């Protein structure tokens, strides 16, 4: 997977800070996670093709997570999009978007599909051969979901050197990846197990923003490869985190530790902090493999 952070600050956009939005490249497609105001600008800056986005997942309906959506939907039309767009988000999102478009007597010339969420339990939103997406119910001031993305590795890994040595034709490769046996140059059948390695493990990414410290999610994100967890505040503002149902860097690290994830990415920083190093330092006291998100940064995993 390839994760591009478009924005990782809380509240309002400014010249150096964009609100929540990310592009996740998964299973050969791009999905957009949250869509704060200015997402279009960041998509341009990061060189991501608008038309590559197939699904949009909105965590909750605070402005810094969805005020960029009406504009993006309008732009898709201007760019001549024809393929459908699937939008997953809290109930109410459809009414808001449709009203914003209707006021301008606007429309889309592509199929705009809303999948509105209201369940307080985890829900499987999407399952294809290549990847799946599940909700992670979070605990914030309003109804909020995180999302667990899993890239499914269905194909075995070819032992290329061996295949070439045995004179097995390239036209067979696709079938061999799926588990078929091979036939060599003199017509002998070679067992699949001799031509391939077992398939790699599935890769998972959990997006958890916005939420208070909420250990209930541990089981849902257990051992995932990468966890993006909000850390709006530093430890010195723990009381404010509690009051506003946000997390501190330490609390995010505590979740990463309890869930035994491989890597933690911190984001959703309050713009009150001029220097973000303390977020990493405070989290590292609890969990070692921590990185800070920043607008435009790319993570490959």
Report which of 90, 193, 198 is spatially closest to residue 146, judged by C-alpha positions: 90
Shortest CB 196 distance to its own copies, Å? 45
The C-alpha atoms of residue 33 and residue 42 are separated, in whole angstroms, by 13
From 61, 85, 112, 292, residue interacting with its own copies (rule: CB under 8 A): 61
The C-alpha atoms of residue 100 and residue 98 are separated, in whole angstroms, by 6
Q: Is 14 in the site for its own copies (CB under 8 A)?
A: yes
Q: Is 41 in the site for its own copies (CB under 8 A)?
A: yes
Q: What is the DSSP string of 160-215?
A: HHHHHHTT--GGGHHHHHTT--EE-TTS-EE-HHHHEEPPPPPEEEEEE-S----G
Active site residue 64: yes
* Tally of CA atoms within 13 A in the half-sphere of 271 that contains its CB: 16
Beta-sheet pairing, 263-267 with 290-292: parallel
Measured CA to CA in angstroms, residue 50 lies from 67, 85, 137 at distances of 17, 11, 28
Span between the terminal Cα atoms of the chain, in Å: 5
Segment interacting with its own copies, rule: CB under 8 A, options 70-78, 129-137, 153-161, 214-222 = 70-78
Shortest CB 209 distance to its own copies, Å? 15
Helix count and strand count (H, E) for the chain = 11, 18
Shortest CB 144 distance to its own copies, Å? 11
From 8, 24, 85, 93, residue interacting with its own copies (rule: CB under 8 A): 93
Shortest CB 275 distance to its own copies, Å? 19
The C-alpha atoms of residue 7 and residue 17 are separated, in whole angstroms, by 7
Q: Is 241 in the site for its own copies (CB under 8 A)?
A: no
- 10 vs 282, beta carbon nearer its own copies: 10
Q: What is the dihedral of CA 93, 95, 101, 104, to 10 degrees?
A: -140
Question: How many CB atoms sit inside 10 A of residue 94's CB?
Answer: 15
Q: Is 146 in the site for its own copies (CB under 8 A)?
A: no
- 35 vs 256, beta carbon nearer its own copies: 35
Q: Is 7 in the site for its own copies (CB under 8 A)?
A: no
Q: Is 187 left (phi over 0), alpha (psi -120 to 50) or beta?
A: left
From 29, 48, 86, 96, residue interacting with its own copies (rule: CB under 8 A): 96
From 6, 32, 57, 67, residue interacting with its own copies (rule: CB under 8 A): 67
Site string for its own copies, 114-143 (x = CB under 8 A): ---------------------------xx-
Segment interacting with its own copies, rule: CB under 8 A, options 65-73, 229-237, 259-267, 276-284 = 65-73
Q: Is 49 in the site for its own copies (CB under 8 A)?
A: no
The C-alpha atoms of residue 153 and residue 170 are separated, in whole angstroms, by 21
Q: Is 75 in the site for its own copies (CB under 8 A)?
A: yes
Residue ranges that bind its own copies, judged by CB under 8 A? 11-15, 37-38, 40-41, 44-45, 60-63, 67-68, 70-71, 74-75, 78, 90, 92-93, 95-96, 99-100, 103-106, 141-142
Active-site residue set: 64
């Amino acid at each position: 997977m390839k994760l591009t952070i478009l924005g990782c600050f809380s509240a309002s956009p400014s010249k150096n800070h964009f609100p929540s939005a990310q592009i996740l490249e998964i299973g050969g497609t791009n999905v957009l996670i949250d869509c704060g105001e200015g997402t279009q600008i960041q998509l341009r800056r990061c060189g991501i093709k608008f038309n590559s986005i197939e699904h949009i997942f909105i965590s909750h309906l605070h402005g810094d997570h969805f005020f960029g959506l009406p504009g993006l939907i309008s732009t898709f039309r201007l760019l001549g999009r024809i393929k459908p767009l699937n939008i997953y988000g809290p109930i109410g999102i459809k009414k808001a978007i449709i009203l914003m478009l209707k006021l301008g007597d606007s429309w889309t010339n592509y199929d705009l599909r809303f999948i509105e969420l209201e369940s307080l339990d985890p829900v499987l939103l999407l399952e294809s051969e290549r990847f799946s997406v599940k909700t992670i119910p979070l605990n914030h001031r309003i109804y909020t979901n995180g999302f667990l993305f899993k890239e499914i590795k269905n194909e075995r890994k070819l032992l290329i050197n061996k295949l070439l040595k045995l004179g097995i034709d390239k036209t067979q490769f696709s079938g061999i990846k799926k588990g078929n046996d091979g036939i060599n140059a003199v017509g002998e059948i070679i067992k699949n197990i001799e031509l391939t390695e077992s398939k790699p493990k599935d890769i998972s990414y959990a997006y958890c923003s916005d939420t208070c410290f909420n250990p209930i999610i541990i089981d849902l994100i257990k051992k995932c490869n990468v966890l993006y967890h909000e850390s709006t505040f530093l430890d010195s503002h723990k009381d404010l985190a509690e009051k506003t149902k946000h997390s501190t860097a330490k609390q995010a690290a505590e979740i990463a530790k309890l869930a035994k994830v491989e890597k933690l990415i911190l984001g959703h920083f309050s713009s009150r902090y001029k220097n973000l190093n303390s977020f990493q330092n405070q989290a590292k006291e609890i969990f070692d493999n921590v990185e800070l998100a920043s607008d435009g940064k790319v993570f490959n995993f």
